[in-house]
Amino acid sequence: MSEKKKETEVYAGFEQGPIRPPSEAGSLLIRVTRNCPWNRCRFCPVYKGTRFSLRPMEHVLADIDTVHSHLLKLQAHASGGPITRDMVMHAGKDLAGPDLDALHATLHWMSHGMDSVFLQDANSLIMKPDNLITVLRHIKERFPWISRITSYARSHTIKGIPDDKFQAMADAGLNRIHVGMESGCDAVLERIQKGVTRDVHILAGQKVKAAGISLSEYVMPGLGGRDLSEAHAMDTADALNRINPDFIRLRTLALPQNTELYGDWQAGHFDKCSGEEVARELLGFIMALEGIQSTLTSDHVLNLFETVAGKLPEDKPQMIAEIQSFLDLPEHGRMMYQVGRRMGLYRGMNDFKDEGRRQRVAEACQRYNIRPDNLEEVLDDLMRRFI
């Protein structure tokens, strides 16, 4: 969006975007940009058919002020006590549209402790550095007690921000960044049109760490397909070993039908890994993580093991053992675990020991005629429902 268009855009009130990390579920969402400036990743369904735009800085500041105003009014009515339903009804009785949305956002934030703010949408750091610094300072001025301000960012964008401006962002309160690395393998990054190289991922990650900002790197098991599975695992682990991010977050590949990678798969140009192959890839990936103190998280329903999580290096043996115990199961057991996981019955291998849950999975397999030879088709359908 041009500067001239931004200057003439009329403020339409408070707004929020559709996406935030699971770890930001309780955060106040402040929309700085709309949609994704890159929007070419072949695996991603999120912003397809939308145009990217920067919100005028003054509009973002107005959103922050709106939430602040609602917060002061609610706190005044409560007089130090709990917020009651009558108070909420009174606060919202004359509101509609964006103003009512702002009240709901304020109440949601209050109910989660008002500790953190997340800047939306996909790459807030593309905003002019001085404008973003102004936004960050305004957030801290209005809500001085918060402990965290977080944003998504592309490695390419981080690399292009002057070091002094990047440090100024950190000093103004930006203290966590989520980066979609997806892979540290150049062949995979090129195939999925990520628009970044392994070296840029590494440089950007190191830059975030050098500024004293907490870094979450997202990794997508299965993204390399069968032909690049090993390279994807090894190169990604090596890149992370060079960065030492605070968090490594797993997001297993699923293929929604409205993505280019789904079309590649249907056309025979992408050979998708099975669930078992993804488990073997994940095992190799974790084994290759060395010399870092990252926390690995598996906080997404698409992952086969929610319990493959912990602090490196001390929890690495437990994570390896969890995956290996799945791979050591006979074929029928591996099928049962995968179906149970996609049904929401299993978080990890310890749940697989529960006879009641296993009986429910067995009944589902019988009812829907799920067999090893049609397992992947069934799992693909179940996984698409979670995207």
| 277-324 pLDDT, tens digit each | 999 999 999 999 999 999 999 988 899 999 999 999 999 999 999 999
| Beta partners for residue 33, in sequence order | 54
Question: For residue 84, what pLDDT is reported?
Answer: 84
Average pLDDT, the chain: 95
Mean per-residue pLDDT, 250-269: 95
The 10s digit of each residue's pLDDT in 313-362 is 999 999 999 999 999 999 999 999 999 999 999 999 999 999 999 999 99
The alpha-helical segments, DSSP class H, found in the chain are 3-8, 57-78, 85-92, 97-111, 129-142, 155-160, 163-172, 186-191, 198-210, 229-243, 260-266, 275-288, 316-327, 331-342, 355-367, 375-384
Residue 139 domain-assigned? Answer: no
Question: For residue 295, what pLDDT is reported?
Answer: 99
Question: For residue 3, what pLDDT is reported?
Answer: 45
Residues 61 and 185 in one domain: no
Question: For residue 20, what pLDDT is reported?
Answer: 92
Mean per-residue pLDDT, 141-151: 98
Task: Identify whether the C-beta of residue 106 lies closer than 8 Å to the C-beta of residue 100.
Answer: no
The alpha-helical segments, DSSP class H, found in 143-197 are 155-160, 163-172, 186-191
Q: Which residues contact 307 (CB under 8 A, 6 or more apart)?
A: 298, 322, 347, 348, 349, 350
Residues 181 and 306 in one domain: yes
Classified as helix, coil or strand, 129 is helix
Cα separation of 78 and 91, whole Å?
12
Task: Identify whether the C-beta of residue 207 lies closer than 8 Å to the C-beta of residue 156.
Answer: no
Residue 113 domain-assigned? Answer: yes
Q: At 142, phi and psi to the nearest 5? A: -75, -35
Residues 190 and 43 in one domain: no
Is the pLDDT at 379 greater than 60? The verdict is yes
Mean per-residue pLDDT, 83-109: 90
Residue 115 domain-assigned? Answer: yes
Q: What is the DSSP string of 214-276?
A: EEEEEE-TTTTTTTTHHHHHHHHHHHHHHH--SEEEE------TTSHHHHHHHTTSS-PPPHH
Residues 188 and 307 in one domain: yes
Task: Assign 225 a pLDDT band (cuts: 50, 70, 90).
Answer: very high
> Which of 63, 98, 133 is at the close of a domain?
133
Mean per-residue pLDDT, 36-60: 95
Is the pLDDT at 191 greater than 90? The verdict is yes
pTM score over 0.85: yes
The 10s digit of each residue's pLDDT in 155-182 is 999 999 999 999 999 999 999 999 999 9
Helix (H) or strand (E) holding 70: helix 57-78
Percent of the chain with pLDDT over 70: 98
Is the pLDDT at 4 greater than 70? The verdict is no
Question: For residue 299, what pLDDT is reported?
Answer: 87
Residues 270 and 347 in one domain: no
At 180, which CATH number?
A: 3.30.750.200
Mean per-residue pLDDT, 239-262: 96
Residues 66 and 215 in one domain: no
Task: Assign 87 a pLDDT band (cuts: 50, 70, 90).
Answer: confident
Question: For residue 387, what pLDDT is reported?
Answer: 62
Residues 54 and 109 in one domain: yes
Which amino acid is residue 259, in one-letter code? T
Residues 124 and 5 in one domain: yes
Q: Which residues contact 5 (CB under 8 A, 6 or more apart)?
A: none
- Domain count for the chain: 3
Residues 111 and 252 in one domain: no
Mean per-residue pLDDT, 367-386: 86
Residue 141 domain-assigned? Answer: no
Residue 147 domain-assigned? Answer: no
Mean per-residue pLDDT, 198-207: 99
Question: Other CB atoms closer than 10 Å to residue 136's CB: what's the count?
Answer: 23
Task: Assign 7 a pLDDT band (cuts: 50, 70, 90).
Answer: low
Residue 146 domain-assigned? Answer: no
Residues 99 and 160 in one domain: no
Residue 96 domain-assigned? Answer: yes
Residues 324 and 340 in one domain: no
Cα separation of 31 and 56, whole Å?
11
β 214-219/247-250 pair status: parallel
Q: At 70, phi and psi to the nearest 5? A: -60, -40
Nearest to 249 by CA among 274, 277, 214: 214
Question: For residue 2, what pLDDT is reported?
Answer: 46
Residues 245 and 359 in one domain: no
Task: Identify whether the C-beta of residue 285 lies closer than 8 Å to the C-beta of residue 320.
Answer: no
Residue 41 domain-assigned? Answer: yes
Question: Other CB atoms closer than 10 Å to residue 312's CB: what's the count?
Answer: 19
DSSP state of 31: E
Is the pLDDT at 6 greater than 70? The verdict is no
Domain that includes residue 106, residue range:
1-133
